[in-house]
Amino acid sequence: MSTPRPTSPKVVFVGAGSVVFTQGLLADLFAFDELRSAHIALHDIDPERLATAEAAARYIADERRAQPRITAHADRREALAGADFVINIVQIGMNEATRTDFDVPARHGVRQTIGDTLGIGGVFRALRTFPFLKELGRDIAEVCPDAWLLNYTNPMAMNVQYLTEATGLTKVVGLCHSVYWTMQGLCELVGVPYEEVTYLSAGVNHQAWVLRFEHRGTDLYRRLDELIAGDEQLRRRVRVDMYRRLGHYPTETSEHSAEYVPWYLHHDSEIDRLRLPVGAYLGIVEENTAVYERTREALSCGAPLTVEGTMEYAPQIIHSLVTGTPRTVYGNVPNRGLIDNLPAHGVVEVPCLVDSAGVQPTRIGALPPQLAALNRTYLSANDLVVRAAIEDDPRKIRQAAMVDPATAAALPVERIWQLCDDMVRAHGDALQPGLRALLGT
C-alpha cells in the first residue's frame, strides 16, 4: 500500500543556485492549487546563488499568489530532513569543468557539440558527479528515506544507473524534456495540434525513438515524409537524416544526436552538410551565466522578472503523487524487462503512469532491431562508466571511451587512452581517488 502524501509536501531543490531552472520549476509547481502551500527548501553550496534562488522563489510565489513556506539551507542534510520530494539539478564543477570537457578533447581532435550525455564529455561529467550522488543517496536514506528523488542532472542515464546501483535508493526517476519538446516540434511541423496527437516513444535518454505518431488514427509519419521530401533544408538536420535511414524519429536535437553515433562529427563534409555547431554548448553556458546575472541584478533592485511555466515533469509527478491525479510522463528508470532487447541493468526512457501508487513504467516489448542496436552501444558505454566508479577501476574509464561511438571514430586506441589521462589530470580532485590513476597507453 502506498504511503499517503501530505497536502503541503516538502520539496527540496538540491542545486537551487541553477536559478533559471529553479524559477521555471517553481512556476510550474505553483500553477497547481494543491501545491501552493508546499514547503520549498532550497539548498546550494554557493551562498550568493542560494540567496538569489531564495529571492527568486519569494518573487514567484508573490506573482502566483501562492503561500508556500520557503527556506534556504547551506547544509544539505538540514534541507533534506523530512523531505517528500528531492529535485536534483546540481552541476558539479559548473562552467569551468564544462570548458575542460570541451577544450581537452578538442586538443586531441575530438569534436563535441553538447558533451553532457555520452562521449568523452559525458563520461567525465558522470565521473565527477558520482561522488556527490553517493553522498546525496546516503543523506536521503538517513533523513528522508520515503522521498522520491527526481533527477535532472546529466548525464541522465549514467546518473540514474549509478544512483540505483551504488546508493540502494529505489524511488528514483530521471526526468528530461526532450520527448515533450520533440513532439511539440513535430506537431508544429506537420500542422496538427499537439493536444490531438497520439504518440509513443521509447529508448534511452536523448536517444529515444518516436514509435507511433498519429492523428485520429492517421499515421503522421506519412505527412512528415512528404515535408522532408519537399524541403532540402529539413534534410540538413542530423535527426532528420537519422530518421530517413532508421525509420523512426529520434527524440533529441541534432546537436545532441550527432554525438551518440560515429557518422557525423568526424567528417568535415557532414558538419557542413548538416550545419553542426561544434562546441555549441560553450555558448549556452555563457548565456546561462548572463541570464543568472540579469536575474540577480533584477532581484537586487526590485525590477520585475518574466517567469513562465516550463511544463516540466517534476511538478506534474509531485502533483499526481500528492493528489492521486493520474497522468503519463516520460521517465528514465532501470530497464528490468521494460524493453526486451536492451540490457536489464541499463536505464531506459519510457512512458510512466503516475498516481498515488507511485511512478509505474510502461512495458514496451522489443524495439525495432536497428534502434536497439544503437541503444545497446549507448548503454554499454554507460555501464562501463558506472562499473569504473563502483569497482574503482580506472581501466574501465578508458574502455568506456573506446566503446563510445564518436570517440572511437575520431581516435585510435592509444590516443583514446592518452585523452583519458589528460582528462583525469584536468579534473583532478573531482574524481574519486581510485580513478585518478594515469595509465598511459
**Which pLDDT value is given to residue 441?**
62
Has residue 261 been placed in a domain?
no
Interatomic CA distance for residues 386 and 122, integer angstroms: 12
Has residue 284 been placed in a domain?
no
CB contact set of 103 (below 8 Å; sequence gap of 6+): none
**Which pLDDT value is given to residue 5?**
53
Has residue 367 been placed in a domain?
no
pTM above 0.75, yes or no: yes
**Which pLDDT value is given to residue 13?**
97
CB contact set of 214 (below 8 Å; sequence gap of 6+): 197, 198, 199, 220
**Residue 170 sits in a domain of what CATH number?**
3.40.50.720
CA dihedral 119, 125, 126, 132 (to 10 degrees): 180
Has residue 56 been placed in a domain?
yes
* Residue 318: exposure state from Cβ atoms within 10 A (0-12, 13-18, ≥19): buried
Which residue in the block uniquely carries the three cell numbers 580506472?
Answer: 394
**Which pLDDT value is given to residue 6?**
54
**Which pLDDT value is given to residue 300?**
83
Q: Are 201 and 251 in contact (CB under 8 A)?
A: yes
Q: Are 249 and 255 in contact (CB under 8 A)?
A: no
177 has catalytic annotation: yes
Has residue 19 been placed in a domain?
yes
Pair type for strands 69-73 and 39-43: parallel
**Which pLDDT value is given to residue 140?**
97
Q: 268-297 burial, b if ≥16 CB within 10 A, otherwise e?
A: eeebeebebeeebbbeebeebeeebeebbe
Q: 3-state SS of the chain? A: CCCCCCCCCEEEEECCCCHHHHHHHHHHHHCCHHHCCCEEEEECCCHHHHHHHHHHHHHHHHHCCCCCEEEEECCHHHHHCCCCEEEECCCCCHHHHHHHHHHHHHHCCCCCCCCCCCHHHHHHHHHHHHHHHHHHHHHHHHHCCCCEEEECCCCHHHHHHHHHHHCCCCCEEEECCHHHHHHHHHHHHHCCCHHHEEEEEEEECCEEEEEEEEECCEECHHHHHHHHHCCCCHHHCHHHHHHHHHCCEECCCHHHHHHHCCCCCCCHHHHHHCCCCCCHHHHHHHHHHHHHHHHHHHHHHCCCCCCCCCCCHHHHHHHHHHHCCCEEEEEEEECCCCECCCCCCCEEEEEEEEECCEEEECCCECCCHHHHHHHHHHHHHHHHHHHHHHHCCHHHHHHHHHHCHHHHHHCCHHHHHHHHHHHHHHHHHHCCHHHCCCCCC
Has residue 29 been placed in a domain?
yes
**Which pLDDT value is given to residue 1?**
39
Has residue 427 been placed in a domain?
no
The residues with which 71 forms a beta bridge, in sequence order, are: 41
Which residue in the block uniquely carries the three cell numbers 570537457?
Answer: 101
With a cut of 50, list the residues of the chain below it in pLDDT.
1-4
Please name which of 367, 394, 397, 370 lies closest in space to residue 381, comparing C-alpha atoms.
397
**Which pLDDT value is given to residue 282?**
84
Q: For residue 287, what is its C-alpha cell?
A: 548565456
Among candidate residues 177, 215, 267, 345, the one labeled active-site is 177
Q: For residue 203, what is its C-alpha cell?
A: 529508448
Range of the domain at 170: 10-174+291-307
**Which pLDDT value is given to residue 411?**
97
Has residue 353 been placed in a domain?
no
Count structural domains, the chain.
1
Interatomic CA distance for residues 391 and 286, integer angstroms: 36
Interatomic CA distance for residues 389 and 438, integer angstroms: 15
Interatomic CA distance for residues 145 and 142, integer angstroms: 6
